[in-house]
Structure 1
Amino acid sequence: MANGSRQAAWEFFGAELKRRRENAGITQAELGARVFVSGGYIGQFEQAIRKPQLDVAQRIDEILQTDGFFERLWKKLIRDQRYTEYFAEVVELERLATEICEFAPAVVPGRLQTREYAQAVFLAGNPFATDEYIEELVKGRMDRAKLLKDATRPVYWVILHETVLRIPVGGPAVMAHQLDHILALMQERKVLVQVLPFAAGAHPEMGKLMWLMEFEDAPPTVYTEAVRSGNLVDEPMVVKRTRAAYDRLRAAALSPEASLALIESAAEDFRRCASTT
Structure 2
Amino acid sequence: MAEQDSGRWFLRTMIRKGRNTTGRSQREVGDEVDRSKDTISDWEKGKTDIPILAIDGLASACNLSAEICSYMKSVARARKNSTPIEADMRYNALFLALAEEYSGFIFKFDILIIPGPLQIRVYHDNVVRVIDPFATDEDLEDGWGFKEERAESLEARTDLPTVHFLIGEGALLMLRQISEEIYQEQMAHLRSWAQKPGIVIRILRAPVPVRLGSFDIYKPGRNKLASPPFVYTEIADSSWCISDPDRIAGYDEIRKMLWNLAIRIEDYHDDDRRDSLAQEHP
Determine which of 41, 62, 67 is the counterpart of 2:46. 41
Matches of 2:125 and 2:96, distance apart in 1: 21
Distance 1:4 1:119, change over 3 A: farther
Contact persistence 1:159–1:194 (CA under 8 A) = yes
Q: Does 2:184 match 1:180? A: no
Whether contact under 8 Å (1:100, 1:212) holds in the other structure is yes
In the alignment, the residues of structure 2 paired with residue 102 and residue 92 of structure 1 have an alpha-carbon distance, to the nearest angstrom, of 15
Aligned to 2:202: 194
Letter in 1 for 2:45: G
Q: How does 1:116-155 map to 2 (within 5 A)?
A: 116-124=122-130, 127=133, 131-152=137-158, 153-155=160-162
* Residues 1:10 and 1:143: Cα distance change in structure 2 (over 3 Å): farther
For the pair 1:227 / 2:227, whether they are aligned, the reply is no
Code of the residue aligned with 2:68 in structure 1: it is I
Superposition map of 1:88-99 within 5 A: 88-99=94-105
TM value normalised by structure 1: 0.67
Are residues 22 and 164 of structure 1, via their aligned partners in 2, closer, same or farther at CA, if it must alter by over 3 Å?
same
CA shift, 1:86, in A, is 3.1
Matched, 1:208 2:210: no
Aligned to 1:171: 179
Cα–Cα, structure 1 residues 135 and 235, in superposed 2: closer, same or farther, change >3 Å?
same
Give 1:70's aligned residue: 55
The one-letter code matched in structure 2 to 1:175 is Y
Unaligned runs of 5+ in 1: 32-38, 44-55, 62-67, 270-277
The residue aligned with 1:16 is: 30
Residue 183 (structure 1) shift: 0.9
Residue aligning to 1:103: 109
CA contact (8 A) 1:10 1:77 kept: no
CA distance in 1, matches of 2:28, 2:219: 24
Match 2:258 to one of 221, 228, 249: 249
Query: In the alignment, does 2:121 pair up with 1:115?
Result: yes
Contact 1:208–1:226 (CA under 8 A) maintained in structure 2 = no
Gaps of 5+ in 2: 1-16, 60-64, 71-88, 275-282
Q: 1:160 to 1:14 in 2, by over 3 A?
A: farther
Shift of 1:194: 1.6
RMSD between superposed Cα atoms in Å: 4.0
Decide whether the 8 Å contact of 1:158 with 1:192 is kept in 2: yes
Question: How has the CA–CA distance of structure 1 residues 223 and 5 changed in structure 2, closer, same or farther, with 3 Å as cutoff?
Answer: same
Would the alpha carbon gap of residues 27 and 107 (structure 1) be closer, same or farther in structure 2, given more than 3 Å must change? closer
Tell me if structure 1 keeps the 8 A contact 2:166–2:201: yes
- Displacement of 1:157 after TM fit? 0.7
CA–CA separation in structure 2 for the residues paired with 1:13 and 1:109: 40
Are the counterparts in 2 of residues 223 and 231 from structure 1 also a CA contact under 8 Å?
yes
Larger RCO, structure (CA 8 Å, separation 6 or more): 2
Instruction: Give the fraction of aligned pairs with identical amino acids, expressed as a percent.
Output: 19
Distance 1:221 1:71 in 2: 26
Distance 1:164 1:14 in 2: 49
Residues 95 and 117 of structure 1, relative CA distance in 2, 3 Å threshold: same
